[in-house]
């Protein structure tokens, strides 16, 4: 399995018989997996989305967006309880080109990627139950 280090963004190959949650990056020696959402930039967005074998959920947000601020703790909580997924954040004010490329029209918007391809997206503030239901629906789509 390939997993991109959440710290230095180097792609690491984790043997199938090893637990990626405990894997260390060959470059920076930090844990490759982070249960916290990883902040992506213009330089790290595409490598992270395209090189990870695990599904990646991206939260497109902005500091001025009230629903984004309200949803942030929920997003972090769901990330902590979902070890088979990678959670990331993109600040649309700082990474405007990525937001434009992703056709983000409202905030917050969550986009579920698998192997570099968009599987689904949902816009608007979600509570914990709604977010978990959406994640389950996305996982069902990639299981088929």
Active site (annotated) includes residue 68: yes
Helix (H, G, I), strand (E, B) or coil at 108: coil
> Which domains does the chain show, CATH number per domain?
1-33 (2.30.30), 34-143 (3.40.30.10)
pTM recorded for the entire structure: 0.96
Please write the tens of the pLDDT for every residue from 89-115: 999 999 999 999 999 999 999 999 999
* 89 bridge partner residues: 39, 59
Active-site residue, selected from the candidate residues 5, 25, 68, 138 = 68
Please write the tens of the pLDDT for every residue from 16-69: 899 999 999 999 999 999 999 999 999 999 999 999 999 999 999 999 999 999
**Continuous H helices in the chain:** 45-51, 66-80, 96-101, 128-143
């Amino acid at each position: 399995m390939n997993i991109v280090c959440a710290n230095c963004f180097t792609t690491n190959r984790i043997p199938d018989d090893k637990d990626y949650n405990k894997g260390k990056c060959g470059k920076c020696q930090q844990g490759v997996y982070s249960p916290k959402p990883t902040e992506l930039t213009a330089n790290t967005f595409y490598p992270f989305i395209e090189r990870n074998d695990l599904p990646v959920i991206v939260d497109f947000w902005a500091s001025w967006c009230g629903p984004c601020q309200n949803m942030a703790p929920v997003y972090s909580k769901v990330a902590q309880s979902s070890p088979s997924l990678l959670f990331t954040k993109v600040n649309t004010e700082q990474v405007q080109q990525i937001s434009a490329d992703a056709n983000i029209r409202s905030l917050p918007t969550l986009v579920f990627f698998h192997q570099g391809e968009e599987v689904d997206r949902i816009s608007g503030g979600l509570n914990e139950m709604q977010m978990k239901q959406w994640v389950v629906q996305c996982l069902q789509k990639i299981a088929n």
